[in-house]
A and B are shown apart, each in its own frame.
Chain A
Amino acid sequence: MSYEDWYRQDRLPHIFCAGCGNGTIINCTLAAIEQMDWKKEDTVFVSGIGCSSRAPGYILTDSLHTTHGRAIAFATGVKMANPDLHVVVFTGDGDMAAIGGNHFIHACRRNIDLTVICMNNQIYGMTGGQGSPTTPKGCLSSTTPFGCAETPFDLCELATAAGANYVSRWTSYHVKELEKAVKVGLETPGFSFIEALVQCPTAFGRRNKFRQVADHVEYLRSHSLLKAKRDRMLENGEHIPEDMYIVGEITRRKRPAMGVKP
Chain B
Amino acid sequence: MATTPDPKAPAGPAAQPGRYLTFTLGAESYGFPVLSVREIIRLCPITPVPRMPAYIRGVINLRGKVIPILDFRAKFQIATGDYGDRACIIVVQVGDSPSTQTLMGAIVDAVEEVVSLNAADLEAAPDFGGAPDTRYIMGMATIKGGVKTLLDPRKIFLEEGTLALPPSAESQS
Q: Do A and B come from one complex?
A: no
